A and B are shown apart, each in its own frame.
Chain A
Amino acid sequence: MMHEPATHPLLSPPAKLVVSGVSKTFHTNRTTVHALDNVSLTVGEGEFVCLVGPSGCGKSTLLDIVAGLTKADSGTVMADDQPVQGPGRHRLVMFQESALFPWLTVLGNVLFGLKLKPELSPSERLEIAHEHLKLVGLTKFTHSNVHELSGGMKQRVALARSLAPDPRVLLMDEPLAALDALTRDQLYSDIQRIWQTRNKTIVLVTHNVREAVCLGDRVVLLSPHPGRIRAEFAIPLPRPRDINGAELAGYAREITSALKGYITSEDAE
């Protein structure tokens, strides 16, 4: 690993994820969709892995299965040698559209997961919540309502909400897809900074190759119909990475052409 170990002594260590032979089929009235076909993947402790692929390649389904929100038809997911059987507080998901709760303030949202940890006292919860709002740079908006925030600020709150309960794995489902380019660039550096200080295992799903190269230690390429892992690319670039860097663009080009190859070959079949 290239990054520093956890700097905060109280934080829980990152977890190792082992996905083996996972398949998932969705049945609708007319069609059967093979979302995932015998997918295996190992994510090391504190590793940042990005799953990339065109829509329909099952990357979000894979993330849901790792989260425990969806059950696989076959295969297993192990988090630190424990089988994943349902959603758990150690694997938090940050969703594409802001899943912030509109009936709570910014602070209320960040406190939501903390209130489900009975070992914390109310004052500890408040302290942790404030600390995380500071981490994402939103101290000023502690008491704001969700609808008063911009899209980028909402996703920062979502990040704070996911990090505050101190999960061992953070699963991100296209968290930046709905944001404008400038806001996204800012969040790339924020996510890298936060990941380096917090040392979490992160799995991020995206269809943006550059984003994957910018953030990931490793980029995993999936192709659709049925969803399969086609290739893996290690990204040994130093951090923090600039989304507009030349070396980064080189990797992105390589992955994009590989991706195109799989899509066209699939279409030809």
Chain B
Amino acid sequence: MRRALNATMFFAVLLLIWQLAVSSGRWSPVLLPGPRSVLEYLMSAAHDGTLAEACWVTLRRLLIGYAIGLLLGLPLGLLTSTSHFFEDTLGSLALGLQTLPSVCWIPLALLWFGQTETAMLFVVIMGTMWSVLIATDTGARSISPIYARAARTMGSEGLHQWTRVIIPASLPYLVSGMKQGWAFAWRSLMAAEIYVTILTGFGLGHLLHYGRELSAMDQVIGIMGVIVAIGLVADKLLFSPWERFLHRRWGTGLKQG
């Protein structure tokens, strides 16, 4: 309760400073619109459906791309963690590509796939996959060998050992890898949407881009707020339950008092 109050107070003060800065008249309202006009923009965008449409287009690209990135990254990470051959080949490739900012995939995606949904998905998948692969690889390597030994004496082998021992044991790494993958996917998609117009759907990035073109600062700030909000909600919905489970089971992250 006290913490919720602290957070509310903090953001109320931020809003107040913003409003005071606007009221002082030092800056042109074109460059610095007040909280009220940003809110008005958001209300009207919500009312005429552009906001919901853009959110839906963006989230659909993000979720599909992220899911594919996970489905590729997880098993490939397990593969590189088990064999020297895949570690030296695929593992090295992944390590290299992971350092490549995912925005850099956009020119290639456009040339290969044109201004299509596929290009958008490709960028998201490239943003997700390599970091998930690396995190899975690290996780599977870091688990104590004693777990596998204990499991083997109880008769656990092959697929059973993978699904019941190695994957659960590396869960803390997997979740942080998935979280990192999500952050990369989100960033790369926003970059791609600002950079390219895809006629099959206008996402949040496009609204941001048009806001700049029209010098509609209320739109720019409003959409930025929406992007932040989606990031926070995704974190709470997708990762917080996992993290709470991990903390409870592993006994990590317990605060004193």
Q: Which residues of A contact B (CB under 8 A)?
A: 67-69, 87-89, 91-93, 95, 97, 99, 101-105, 112-113, 116-117, 145-148, 161, 165
Q: Which residue of B lies closest to A117 (CB)?
A: B155
Q: Is there an interface contact between A87 and B155, defined as CB atoms closer than 8 Å?
A: yes
Residues of A within 8 A of B169 (CB): 101-103
Q: Is there an interface contact between A69 and B154, defined as CB atoms closer than 8 Å?
A: no
Contact partner of B154 (CB less than 8 A), chosen from A68, A102, A104, A113, is A113
With A101-B168, A103-B249 in contact, do A112 and B146 touch (Cβ < 8 Å)?
Answer: no
Contact partner of A95 (CB less than 8 A), chosen from B146, B160, B164, is B146
Q: How far is the CB of B140 from chain A (nearest CB, A)?
A: 14
The 9 closest A-B pairs by CB, nearest first: A147-B251, A113-B154, A99-B150, A103-B168, A89-B155, A116-B155, A99-B146, A87-B152, A93-B153
Q: Is there an interface contact between A99 and B251, defined as CB atoms closer than 8 Å?
A: no
Identify which of residues 226-257 in chain B touch chain A, using a CB-to-CB cut-off of 8 Å: 248-251
Does B147 count as interface, using CB distance less than 8 angstroms?
Answer: yes
Residues of B within 8 A of A165 (CB): 154-155
Identify which of residues 17-50 in chain B touch chain A, using a CB-to-CB cut-off of 8 Å: none
Residues of A within 8 A of B154 (CB): 89, 92, 112-113, 116, 161, 165
Residues of A within 8 A of B250 (CB): 102-103, 145, 147
Query: Interface range on chain B: under 10, 10 to 19, 20 to 34, or 35 or more?
Result: 20 to 34
Complex Cα distance, B157 from A88, in Å, reads: 11
Q: Is there an interface contact between A99 and B149, defined as CB atoms closer than 8 Å?
A: yes
With A101-B147, A101-B169, A103-B169 in contact, do A92 and B153 touch (Cβ < 8 Å)?
Answer: yes
Residues of B within 8 A of A145 (CB): 248-251
Does B151 count as interface, using CB distance less than 8 angstroms?
Answer: yes
Complex Cα distance, B45 from A123, in Å, reads: 57
Q: Is there an interface contact between A102 and B249, defined as CB atoms closer than 8 Å?
A: yes
Does B171 count as interface, using CB distance less than 8 angstroms?
Answer: yes
Q: Is there an interface contact between B150 and A88, defined as CB atoms closer than 8 Å?
A: no
Q: How far is the CB of B75 from chain A (nearest CB, A)?
A: 20
Q: How far is the CB of A222 from chain B (nearest CB, A)?
A: 21
User: What 0/1 readout, one digit per residue, does chain B (147-184) give for beta carbons within 8 Å of chain A?
Assistant: 10111111110001000110011010000000000000
Q: How far is the CB of A169 from chain B (nearest CB, A)?
A: 10
Complex Cα distance, B147 from A101, in Å, reads: 7
Residues of B within 8 A of A68 (CB): 153
Complex Cα distance, B254 from A148, in Å, reads: 12
Contact partner of B155 (CB less than 8 A), chosen from A69, A88, A99, A148, is A88
With A101-B165, A145-B248, A145-B251 in contact, do A113 and B155 touch (Cβ < 8 Å)?
Answer: yes
Complex Cα distance, B150 from A89, in Å, reads: 11
Complex Cα distance, B154 from A116, in Å, reads: 7
User: What 0/1 readout, one digit per residue, does chain B (103-121) give for beta carbons within 8 Å of chain A?
Assistant: 0000000000000000000
Complex Cα distance, B155 from A67, in Å, reads: 11
Q: Which residue of B lies closest to A97 (CB)?
A: B146
Residues of A within 8 A of B165 (CB): 101
Q: Is there an interface contact between B149 and A148, defined as CB atoms closer than 8 Å?
A: no
Q: Is there an interface contact between B251 and A95, defined as CB atoms closer than 8 Å?
A: no
Q: Is there an interface contact between A116 and B160, defined as CB atoms closer than 8 Å?
A: yes
Complex Cα distance, B151 from A91, in Å, reads: 12
Q: Which residue of B lies closest to A92 (CB)?
A: B153
Complex Cα distance, B159 from A116, in Å, reads: 13
